[in-house]
Amino acid sequence: MPRWLMDYLEELATLLRNGGWKEQDINDMIQASSSPSSDTEDIYLDSQTILEGLLLKADLMSNSLRKAGWSSQDIAEIFDINYPTKKPTKKISPELAERIGKLAEYVVQA
């Protein structure tokens, strides 16, 4: 497991401890996040697959936290996500909105 991932999981474990989680629960979550799910010796994954796997693990962990009563803002803070507390007040012009929509359509088709 990469060092940065180990450091990140340890930071999450510390935050969970500070939040009152039991050590066994934390260990179960961290071990499930860091252990391979296959019996094969070598697994070669591309960066997109790894990112999707990390996002899935983060989603599973955030669902566990939500079930334990954590708010979305608390979870976003733990995962270091910039969670907006208010809707943006800036408005964009209809022309810019149309251009963004066209760009989005182009990206989806690509």
Mean pLDDT, all residues of the chain: 76
pLDDT score recorded for residue 8: 82
- Poorest-confidence range of 11-20, 31-40, 99-108? 31-40
Q: What angle do CA 54, 2, 5 make, to 5 degrees?
A: 45
pLDDT digit string, tens, across residues 49-78: 777 777 788 788 888 888 888 888 887 777
Instruction: List phi, psi (to 5°) of 107.
Output: -65, -40
Query: Is the confidence at residue 40, as pLDDT, over 50?
Result: no
Q: What is the pTM of this model?
A: 0.37
70 lies in a domain?
yes
90 lies in a domain?
no
Give the number of domains in the chain: 1
**Residue ranges making up the domain that contains 53:** 3-85
109 lies in a domain?
no
43 lies in a domain?
yes
75 lies in a domain?
yes
